[in-house]
Amino acid sequence: MERLAIGLVTLLIVAIVVFSATALLPGDVAEVLLGQAATPEAVAGLRTAMHLDDPAPIRFIYWLLGLLRGDLGQSYVNNLPIAELIGSRLPNTLKLAGITAAIAVPLSLFLGITAAVARGKAYDRVVSIMTVGVISVPEFMTATLAVLVFSVWLGWLPALSHLSNVDSFGGLLRAYAMPVITLTFVISAQMIRMTRASVIETLDSPYIEMARLKGASPTRVILRHALPNALGPIVNAIALSLSYLLGGVIIVETIFNYPGIARLMVDAVATRDLPLIQSCAMIFCVGYLLLVTLADIVALMANPKLRA
């Protein structure tokens, strides 16, 4: 109950921050919608119709009550229900996140565990150098390099992800390849480092030495004794990395023209579609909190000492 209460309070604070941040965006929404040729009377009438002249606390309360009812409101620009717009884009973002997670998580666990077992050897140094290098490169640079290598120089993959033109399984793989490669590089490095550090710390524990003295095989020591006790920090690192996929894919979706919810929010910012921006931001925040809460629960289940 305490964690649930903390989560609800956090969501309320996030809602206040999101609403306040969108209200501070430069430009007049009514002027953006009507264009530069609009008369002051038309702009004033549109502002009144959209309740933009109401005090900010009143508008926030109405917006928050709508969220609690499941009513995300109406898009200013598209004049469509926001739930309909998000419903058409959210599955694409979830697919991209799911495919990336299915590749990045096993790869990161394998590289992190094997690097910890080979601590101090050439393999460990190579993995460590690679992860530090990847962490040092921002995602837009990774995406740009991927386009240069795989699209421009090699010509293997398309530079843009047009899902509407996909008509075969091979076409589907080609459409998802570039965003997935970029996101896998971006999120794997931190998971590899956290996995390696957690497993090394566990391998130095006295009970691991006792298991070795009893004749347990290296595989059993890792899988049966070390990994379950190192699972807490690893799960937290995975959850934080996956939460990035829900909200941090904005650059990736924009560069590759991927039709996801992050791209939808970027377009909404350009057109000052405030309700749509607020709804997308809240979805990202809710997804982040759910993943972090799930990580805490898994860590408690994996480590009996944390339940004491």
Kindly report, residue by residue over 111-166, the tens digit of the pLDDT: 888 888 888 888 888 988 888 888 777 777 878 888 888 888 887 777 777 666 66
| pLDDT at residue 299 in the model | 65
Q: Which residues are bridge partners to 74 per DSSP?
A: 81
Residue 23 corresponds to which tokens in the numbers above?
A: 């209200």
Residue 209: Cβ within 10 Å count: 12
Q: Residue 239 has which token pair?
A: 């959850």
| Residues in the chain, pLDDT under 50 | none
According to DSSP, residue 150 is labeled I
What is the predicted pLDDT for the residue at 90? Answer: 85
Which residues 6+ apart lie within 8 Å of 279 measured at CB? 72, 73, 82, 86
The pair of structure tokens assigned to 15 is: 């809602």
| Predicted local confidence at residue 105, as pLDDT | 87
**pLDDT at res. 187:** 82
What was the pLDDT predicted at 204?
A: 73
pLDDT at 49: 72
d(CA 231, CA 296): 11
Check residue 147 and give its pLDDT. 82
Are 259 and 85 spatial neighbours (Cβ–Cβ below 8 Å)? no
* Polymer length of the chain: 308
Q: What pLDDT score was predicted for residue 22?
A: 79
pTM of the model: 0.77
What's residue 168's pLDDT?
Answer: 67
CA angle 280, 105, 137 (to 5 degrees): 70
Residue in the structure block whose two tokens are 């004794």: 225
- What is the end-to-end Cα distance of the chain in Å, rounded? 17
